[in-house]
Amino acid sequence: MAMIAPPGILDVTAAAQRIADAVVTTPLLESDLLNAEVGGRVLVKAEVLQRTGSFKFRGAYNRLKRLSPQQRETGVVAYSSGNHAQGIAAAAQKLGTTAIIVMPIMAPAIKVARCKALGAEVILHDGDRDSMVLRAHALADDRKAVLVPPFDDPSIIAGQGTVGLEIAAQALALKVEPDAVIVPCSGGGLSAGIALALEDRLPGTALYTAEPVGFDDMARSLASGDVVTNAPGAKTLCDALMVPRPGNLTFPVLRRLAKGGFAVSDDDVLRAMAIAFIHLKLVIEPGGAAAFATLFNGQWDPRGRTTVVVASGGNADPATFATALTRFA
């Protein structure tokens, strides 16, 4: 990966044109009652309404659309706990290629079922993330397929950056320059892509990442200026945000452009899921609610500010969503 350069704004704008035929321009939602509750203006980028229920379709479709005819014949291999998997499966189906997805055996059943429904071959892996990645690499070599990683790929990052282009255009249409954009973060593909777009379109807007407690490697890496890794053994409801370290391509972008990062607990995200449902009628999964959660746990003070939070995924396990509503609604 050291030989591959991170993408730039021209890659993001090219991605926006490349994927325009399939990607949903998701709304920037607002609730007057929510604004009154927090004492500031909150704009929620509802990527839960994207194809497959998360932003991941953007990067997956951008990457697969760049496959050569020969590569489309041999197909792709990916590894993911769920949302990247669904994005790859949907993109492969739309573009007429095949997809093999290696998923952890504990992946949410709803995400596994949707990948299969989209035509992907799903292989459940009983082991840690490193061994899952190695298995995906071996499968790609064996099938002579293209390996598509979840975040550390220039085309993936550029595709996710189209979220930032939309945020900028929608904010400017509202005649507002946000004080901050807060983004759920794991490997950093979405936050790095958005950071590139904001640098070009809203240079006065700060970008922050939001991660689960125990998986806040990006926040700690940004604070130290160098990559740090999560300690083993941590647990979180945010199954989409469990990568152990920042990406090789994403971290240099965020080290240059991000202002910092926040960490949220499981209770924080459950509360945020309930609040989003009450005020915005959105179903957000735990990882997708991480940025929204920072408004209510003291990590970010929204009073007197305009804050954009990205609701990055809506593929919530029904039992977990019911728990959020039961405990906090």
* CA dist., res. 67 & res. 192, Å (int): 23
Residue 1 lies in a domain: no
Residue 102 lies in a domain: yes
Given 91, 122, 147, which residue is the final one in a domain?
147
| DSSP label of 196 | H
Question: How many structural domains are present in the chain?
Answer: 2
Residue 69 lies in a domain: yes
Say whether both 229 and 126 belong to one domain.
no
CB atoms within 10 A of CB 230: 18
Beta-sheet pairing, 146-147 with 76-79? parallel
Residue 143 lies in a domain: yes
Residue 158 lies in a domain: yes
Residue 4 lies in a domain: no
Q: What pLDDT sits at residue 202?
A: 98
Beta-sheet pairing, 260-264 with 41-46? unpaired
Q: What pLDDT sits at residue 52?
A: 96
Say whether both 182 and 307 belong to one domain.
yes
Whether the CB-CB separation of 98 and 75 falls below 8 Å is answered with yes
User: Which CATH number belongs to the domain containing residue 139 in this structure?
Assistant: 3.40.50.1100
Residues in Cβ contact with 103 at an 8 Å cutoff, skipping those fewer than 6 apart = 79, 80, 81, 82, 85, 111, 112, 115, 122, 123, 124, 125
Whether the CB-CB separation of 72 and 95 falls below 8 Å is answered with yes
pLDDT < 70 positions in the chain = 1-2
Whether the CB-CB separation of 208 and 261 falls below 8 Å is answered with yes
Q: What pLDDT sits at residue 1?
A: 44
Say whether both 171 and 266 belong to one domain.
yes
Say whether both 129 and 272 belong to one domain.
no
For the chain, give me the number of helices (H) and strands (E)? Answer: 14, 10
* CA dist., res. 115 & res. 108, Å (int): 11
Beta-sheet pairing, 146-147 with 121-125? unpaired
Q: What pLDDT sits at residue 222?
A: 98
Residue 3 lies in a domain: no
For residue 183, the enclosing domain spans 9-55+153-328
The sign of the dihedral angle between the CA atoms of 53, 54, 55, 58 is: negative
pTM: 0.96
The token duo for 25 is 């321009």
Say whether both 35 and 98 belong to one domain.
no
